[in-house]
């Protein structure tokens, strides 16, 4: 049983997932953090919502930490 490590992500962070999006993009912008993680493909702008555990499994690496002061907050 692998321990679940919680990646300290925040809205505005850029992450790379193991599997590329059908559009070919691999970089995602974090647009929502909670029980579910909201991600927006930086290539086609499509948004997905992943359960936190699923997100942790698919995460390849954290590419960029947003500046906590002015994260590009998105609602909805
Ligand atoms: Zn995409």
CA of 53 to the centre of ligand 1 (A): 21
Give the domain range for residue 62: 14-66
Domain count, the chain: 1
In a domain, 4, yes or no: no
Beta bridge partners of 15: 28, 62
In a domain, 50, yes or no: yes
In a domain, 3, yes or no: no
- What confidence score (pLDDT) does residue 63 get? 87
**Which residues are CB-contacts of 36 (< 8 A; sequence separation ≥ 6)?**
49, 50, 51, 52
pLDDT tens digits in sequence order for the chain, 76 residues long = 655 566 789 999 999 999 899 999 999 999 999 999 999 999 999 999 999 999 999 999 998 877 655 555 565 5
CA of 3 to the centre of ligand 1 (A): 30
CA of 8 to the centre of ligand 1 (A): 23
In a domain, 33, yes or no: yes
- What confidence score (pLDDT) does residue 3 get? 58
Q: What gap in Å lies between CA 52 and CA 22, rounded to an integer?
A: 21
pTM of the predicted model as reported, rounded to 2 decimal places:
0.76
- What confidence score (pLDDT) does residue 66 get? 72
């Amino acid at each position: 049983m692998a321990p679940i490590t919680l990646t300290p992500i925040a809205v505005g962070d850029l992450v790379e997932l193991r599997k590329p999006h059908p559009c070919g993009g691999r970089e995602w912008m974090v647009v929502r953090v909670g029980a579910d993680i909201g991600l927006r493909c930086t290539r086609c702008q499509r948004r997905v919502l992943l359960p936190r555990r699923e997100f942790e499994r698919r995460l390849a690496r954290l590419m960029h930490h947003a500046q906590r002061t002015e994260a590009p907050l998105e609602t909805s």
